[in-house]
């Protein structure tokens, strides 16, 4: 019996990481983007990620990765068993992609938005069948972090939840289902903490390194909030904070000037070679 095809739309950091996870667990992936260069980089990143995941024991022993196919044509998702939207955290972008995906796939196909904070019920207006829509929040790198936040919208069908939980279990993830709200659980707690950490640095209270060291040593944060920001992508973090601020009005969600300055300078984190830390030597 052939394994079900998983379609992933968006070949950025998250789409690439999720693709690595899925093919590494033996399910074929068609990865869609609008830029051929982005797809070529994604294919290389998936190959590197698979080697990393195998070295760290993050894939089933003796497993053979499934096929990764890249394409510029969204029409290639039509026969997918599940579609994961992983484009940038901008409502207008997600709306365009989800509307197009919804028009192409068969009724009953689970449509997963990998979102860090936009409410699923808000997105439901962008698809033909709101019952097919559900949210996930994979952590980066998706192929190493085993837990996934799953967001059930008010209109999400039971069958969609069951299908997605089954798929996540099949690829070795531990799903936790939460109710719909701006930021859900992880972003609502993590993103303002990172924003506060940036404010502490801006105020001159402590250096970037000292903030992360204290959070690791005193409070058990595995990487520190500012190194985490570099891993998320500071531009992605700013987009997510702005989405939260617009929906909650909470000033802790308003992106700090230091984060905005990093984006203006192109210092986006690990993916650009520099963020709060310098990665250019490690990547050369």
Q: Are residues 142 and 161 in the same domain?
A: yes
Domain C-terminal end among 179, 211, 230: 179
Residue 284 has pLDDT above 70, yes or no: no
Active-site residue list = 137
Domain C-terminal end among 179, 195, 228: 179
Domain C-terminal end among 121, 145, 179: 179
Q: Are residues 196 and 173 in the same domain?
A: no
Res 202: pLDDT: 98
Res 7: pLDDT: 98
Has residue 1 been placed in a domain? Answer: no
DSSP output for 53-103: HHHTT-S-TT-----EEEES-GGGGTT-SEEEE---S-HHHHHHHHHHHHH
SS3 265: coil
175 is written with which tokens?
Answer: 């799903």
Res 62: pLDDT: 84
- What is the arithmetic mean of pLDDT over 256-261? 98
Convert the pLDDT of each residue in 159-179 to its tens digit.
Answer: 999 999 999 999 999 999 999
Q: Are residues 246 and 214 in the same domain?
A: yes
| Of 151-155, 174-178, 238-242, 264-268, minimum mean pLDDT range | 238-242
Q: Are residues 51 and 159 in the same domain?
A: yes
Domain count, the chain: 2
Q: Are residues 30 and 75 in the same domain?
A: yes
Res 281: pLDDT: 66
Res 2: pLDDT: 80
Res 1: pLDDT: 58
Convert the pLDDT of each residue in 83-139 to its tens digit.
Answer: 999 999 889 999 999 999 999 999 999 999 999 999 999 999 999 999 999 999 999
CATH number at residue 216: 1.10.1040.10
Residues ≥6 apart with Cβ < 8 Å to 154: 120, 121, 124, 180
Q: Are residues 122 and 155 in the same domain?
A: yes
Residue 283 has pLDDT above 80, yes or no: no
| Of 5-9, 214-218, 232-236, minimum mean pLDDT range | 232-236
Has residue 283 been placed in a domain? Answer: no
């Amino acid at each position: 019996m052939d394994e079900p095809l998983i379609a992933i739309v968006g070949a950025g950091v998250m789409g690439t990481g999720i693709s690595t996870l899925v093919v590494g667990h033996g399910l074929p992936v068609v990865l869609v983007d609008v830029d051929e260069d982005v797809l070529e980089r994604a294919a290389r990143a998936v190959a590197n990620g698979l080697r990393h995941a195998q070295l760290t024991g993050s894939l089933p022993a003796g497993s053979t990765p499934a096929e990764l196919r890249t394409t510029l044509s969204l029409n290639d998702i039509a026969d997918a068993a599940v579609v994961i939207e992983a484009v940038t955290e901008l409502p207008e972008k997600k709306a365009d992609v989800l509307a197009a995906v919804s028009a192409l796939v068969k009724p009953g196909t689970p449509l997963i938005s990998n979102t860090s904070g936009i409410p699923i019920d808000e997105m439901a207006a962008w698809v033909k069948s709101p019952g097919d829509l559900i949210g996930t929040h994979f952590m980066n790198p998706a192929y190493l972090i085993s837990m996934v936040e799953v967001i059930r919208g008010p209109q999400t069908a039971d069958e969609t939840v069951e299908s997605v939980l089954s798929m996540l279990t099949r690829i070795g993830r531990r799903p936790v289902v939460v109710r719909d709200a701006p930021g859900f659980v992880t972003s609502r707690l993590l993103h303002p903490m990172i924003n506060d950490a940036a404010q502490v640095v801006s105020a001159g209270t402590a250096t970037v390194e000292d903030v992360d060291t204290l959070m690791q040593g005193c409070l058990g944060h595995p990487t520190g909030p500012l190194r985490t920001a570099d891993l998320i992508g500071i531009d992605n973090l700013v987009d997510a904070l702005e989405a939260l601020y617009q929906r909650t009005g909470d000033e802790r969600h308003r992106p700090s000037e230091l984060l905005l300055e990093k984006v203006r300078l192109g210092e986006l984190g690990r993916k650009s070679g520099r963020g709060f830390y310098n990665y250019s030597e490690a990547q050369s």
